[in-house]
Amino acid sequence: MTKTVMLNSDEHRNLHVSNQYSTELGDGVMWAQTFAAEFRNAQAHYPILFQKDSQTGQFMAVTLLGFEQGDNIFLDNGRWGAGYIPLMVQRGPFSIGRKKDEQSDGPNRFINVDLDHPKVNEKVGQRLFDELGTATPYLDRISGMLETLHVWHQDNEIFLKALQELNLLEQVTMDITLDDGTKGQLLGFYTINEKSLRELPDEKLIELHRRYYLEPIYMAIASVNKVRSLMERKVALKTAAVG
């Protein structure tokens, strides 16, 4: 359940948002949405894969955080155990709201907050407003982050459409074997089809380069090697839990 409302300083003067990460705080997720603009940072820590919505047929890019639902192996005693945290994770309980602006043709954007989110409280974490109702530096950072995500989302739709049109996405099944012998499979994900990429006509490759798409494509390809790192991290966590 969510209780998403427009954030305002009168009603939400005392709100805080926890800056910790844990399953109890809503971070126990297997993957997080990511965007081409952050592939460079994300690929250093996570495999970047793609998912297809079975109803709409639309794709999204995701960072893989674990091997089963609810499994996030980057949670480490309230901290995030990687040098880069995907922006969709950092945004926490916040989202962009829209309402029609009578003075212009387009909608106005504002910040929504989910009051039922486990990170939202009135005692612990980052405060959103000071005693006078002025936005704190933390809230200013959230505002900038949401604006960035808004732009990234629009750009990603075009990027992913280009990948589909050029037949550059292929569904894969990944067999997972941990060092302790545990076996499993990753199903329902897509990766870049390297064969299709190699066989693209020169003019298509040049077009991808001019649109700044080649870099994120190669970043996504390289990131798949991070599956091994995730497996090693999973085994280390299991060993530490037993010990």
DSSP the chain: ---EEE--TTTSTT-EE---B-IIIII--SEEEE-GGGHHHHTTTS-EEEEE-TTT--EEEEEE--SSTT--TTEETBEE-SS---HHHHTTTEEEEEEE-TTSSSEEEEEEEETTSTTEESSSSEESB-TTSPBPHHHHHHHHHHHHHHHHHHHHHHHHHHHHHTT-EEEEEEEEE-TTS-EEEEEEEEEE-HHHHHTS-HHHHHHHHHTT-HHHHHHHHHHTTHHHHHHHHHHHHHHHHH-
Residues 6+ apart with CB under 8 A from 27: 21, 72, 75, 80, 89
Largest CA distance in the chain: 63
Q: Provide the pLDDT confidence category of residue 237 given band limits of 50, 70 and 90.
A: confident
Q: Is the pLDDT of residue 81 over 90?
A: yes
- Measured N-to-C along each axis, helices 214-223 and 202-210 cross at an angle, to the nearest 10 degrees, of 100
Cβ pair 31, 65 in contact under 8 A: yes
Question: Any idea where the domains of the chain sit in the sequence?
Answer: 4-242
- pLDDT value for 4: 93
* Alpha-carbon distances of 28 from 73, 89, 103, 123, 147, rounded to whole Å: 9, 11, 42, 23, 25
- Asked if residue 190 has pLDDT above 80, the reply is yes
Q: Which amino acid is residue 15, in one-letter code?
A: L
Model confidence at 66, in pLDDT bands (50, 70, 90)?
very high
pLDDT tens profile 82-109: 999 999 999 999 999 876 655 655 567 8
Q: What is the pTM of this model?
A: 0.91
